[in-house]
């Protein structure tokens, strides 16, 4: 049986199955990246809901695993050289899981790095910009009289969707015929932008052709449907 006693987070969220990969997350666009990947890969794992509404990601136990206080994070009891490994940052976790299993990423070096660049594109652009649209369009930012911040993030979101639209020309997935961690990194964010944030009309989503079709293909995958609801909300 794996020993997770070196990880303080395991004292607050004890593992029933310590031999399985431990997922500490919440079903946000960043959180579901990892649950979707785990469902796609079929790896045995145990999810723990970190209620961000109650600031549980800022508890000492969670901060011991991710000092940045953000979900998701994992502990793999069977990490490199068979030793437990803790990881945070969703992009890093996606890359780790893909390399651990040899799946969801091309085997050739050029394809691998091309996939990684699109994961970085999501991390550096899609996530932060769409998140700002959510704030200024749906949450506290709505009360700001000056609409220039919303307009800035709206316009940048439309530009980024245009980048995806161009990339998907002649491709079913970001990497062509192969569904990869690049797709997984973005599906939840695009879904959230037009769904939870309600910004479909704001960003003129229906003027696009390839991105909506890509999103529909992704959301039709059974593993994606399962992963979008893991961990269950308290």
Domains of the chain, by residue range, sit at 9-103, 109-224
Distance, CA of 159 to CA of 155 (rounded, Å):
6
Distance, CA of 200 to CA of 206 (rounded, Å):
7
Q: Give Cα 170 to chain centroid, integer Å.
A: 25
**pLDDT for residue 1:** 59
Ranges of residues in the chain with a pLDDT under 70 are 1
- Smallest CA-to-CA distance from 218 within 29, 24, 23 is with 29
pTM above 0.75, yes or no: yes
Distance, CA of 200 to CA of 67 (rounded, Å):
34
Instruction: Determine contact, residues 100/38, Cβ cutoff 8 Å.
Output: no
Instruction: Determine contact, residues 62/86, Cβ cutoff 8 Å.
Output: no
Distances (CA, A) of 101 to 95, 128, 217, 233: 10, 29, 23, 28
The CATH number of 9-103, from 1.10.357.10, 3.40.30.10, 3.40.50.300, 3.20.20.70, is 3.40.30.10
Q: To 5 degrees, how large is the angle CA 180–CA 186–CA 208? A: 110
Q: Give Cα 131 to chain centroid, integer Å.
A: 13
**pLDDT for residue 32:** 98
**pLDDT for residue 64:** 98
**pLDDT for residue 159:** 98
CATH architecture, domain 109-224 = Up-down Bundle (1.20)
- Smallest CA-to-CA distance from 73 within 27, 22, 113, 144 is with 22
Give the torsion through C-alpha atoms of 180, 96, 79, 36, to 10 deg.
-50
Distance, CA of 90 to CA of 71 (rounded, Å):
8
Distance, CA of 174 to CA of 164 (rounded, Å):
8
H or E element, residue 21: strand 21-25
Q: Which residue has the tokens 């944030």?
A: 197
Q: Which two tokens stand for residue 129?
A: 């910009």
């Amino acid at each position: 049986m794996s020993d997770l006693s070196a990880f303080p987070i395991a004292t607050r969220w004890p593992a029933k199955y310590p031999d399985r990969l431990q997922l500490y997350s919440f079903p946000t666009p960043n959180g579901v990246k990892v649950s979707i990947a785990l469902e796609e890969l079929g790896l045995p794992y145990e999810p723990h809901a970190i209620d961000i509404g109650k600031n549980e990601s800022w508890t000492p136990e969670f901060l011991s695993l991710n000092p940045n206080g953000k979900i998701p994070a994992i502990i793999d009891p069977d990490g490199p050289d068979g030793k437990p490994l803790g990881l945070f940052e969703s992009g890093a976790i996606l890359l780790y899981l893909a390399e651990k299993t040899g799946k969801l990423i091309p085997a050739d070096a050029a394809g691998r790095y091309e996939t990684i660049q699109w994961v970085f594109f999501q991390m550096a652009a899609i996530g932060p910009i769409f998140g700002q649209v959510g704030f200024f369009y749906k949450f506290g930012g709505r009360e700001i009289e000056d609409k220039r911040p919303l307009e800035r993030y709206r316009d940048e979101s439309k530009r980024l969707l245009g980048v995806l639209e161009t990339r998907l020309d002649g491709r079913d997935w970001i990497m062509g015929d192969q569904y990869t961690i690049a797709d997984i990194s973005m599906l939840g964010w695009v879904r959230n932008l037009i769904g939870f944030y309600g910004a479909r009309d704001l960003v003129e989503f229906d003027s696009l052709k390839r991105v909506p079709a890509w999103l529909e293909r992704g959301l039709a995958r059974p593993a994606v449907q399962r992963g979008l609801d893991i961990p269950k909300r308290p």
